[in-house]
Chain A
Amino acid sequence: EVQLVESGGGLVQPGGSLRLSCAASGFTVSTNYMAWVRQAPGKGLEWVSVIYSDGTTKYADSVKGRFTISRDNSRSTVSLQMNSLRAEDTAVYYCAKGRGNPGCYDYWGQGTLVTVSS
């Protein structure tokens, strides 16, 4: 059974950093593309970042240069390092497993809340 479990969310001050982790099971992280998608409170979904099986990464313009996605195949985890956080980064962050053509996500974690506030 595929499972994705996010952790690492919390309250952080503007300008601070946070590292999110996504523990995957039931499939091989290294052979699938994985992404982070976020949802601000009461708002819609926003794609944040993706990492492909070959290690290629992509980012939304809103986080480029501040966020870094990475993968640890030995631990079956995907991480999102978030630096220079802003109030507008406040959201539930979901980890998602890709399937087929890039951009399609068939399994999602339960999400972890990141709150950026002083």
Chain B
Amino acid sequence: DIQMTQSPSTLSASVGDRVIITCRASQGIGNWLIWYQQKPGKAPKLLIYKASTLENGVPSRFSGSGSGTEFTLTISSLQPDDFATYYCQQYNSYSWTFGQGTKVEIK
């Protein structure tokens, strides 16, 4: 299986900060990379697919980039609603695998 590794595991930031989360794949996955946001007690929410395509309704402060093995999720100006855990997921090959998550906390 392809291993997905996110960094950092936890990130402390303030409202208005620029936040960058990194996701690395153990082998090349093209641009078959998804980012989800999850809040406590809630289901994951699709933010970005195909590494950089923003899901309908997702604020433009979210952006994704990368291909192959290195990917990033950027939040250009952190808002109060963005404090959550973020997961990357590869869908290049079975078994579809997720990163361990990055928790974005209030500084």
Contact = CB atoms under 8 A, between A and B. Distances in A.
* Overall SS of chain B's interface: loop
Given A104-B49, A106-B55, A108-B43, A44 B87 contact: yes
B72 interface: no
B25 interface: no
A110 B49 contact: no
Contact of B43 (A47, A94, A101, A102): A94
B59 to A, nearest CB: 17
A8 interface: no
A113 B46 CA distance: 21
Given A100-B49, A106-B46, A47 B96 contact: yes
A5 B57 CA distance: 22
Nearest to B34: A104
Interface string B59-87: 00000000000000000000000000001
Report, as a range, how many residues of chain A touch the other chain: 20 to 34
Contacts of B89: 45, 103
Contacts, number: 51
User: Chain B CB within 10 Å — which of A46, A47, A58, A110 has the most?
Assistant: A47
* Overall SS of chain A's interface: loop
A60 B91 contact: no
Interface string A74-100: 000000000000000000001000001
Contacts of A100: 49
B96 A103 contact: yes
28 contacts: A37-B44, A44-B98, A45-B36, A45-B38, A45-B44, A45-B87, A45-B89, A45-B98, A45-B101, A47-B95, A47-B98, A61-B95, A94-B43, A101-B32, A101-B50, A101-B91, A102-B91, A103-B32, A103-B34, A103-B90, A103-B91, A103-B96, A104-B46, A106-B55, A108-B43, A110-B42, A110-B43, A111-B43
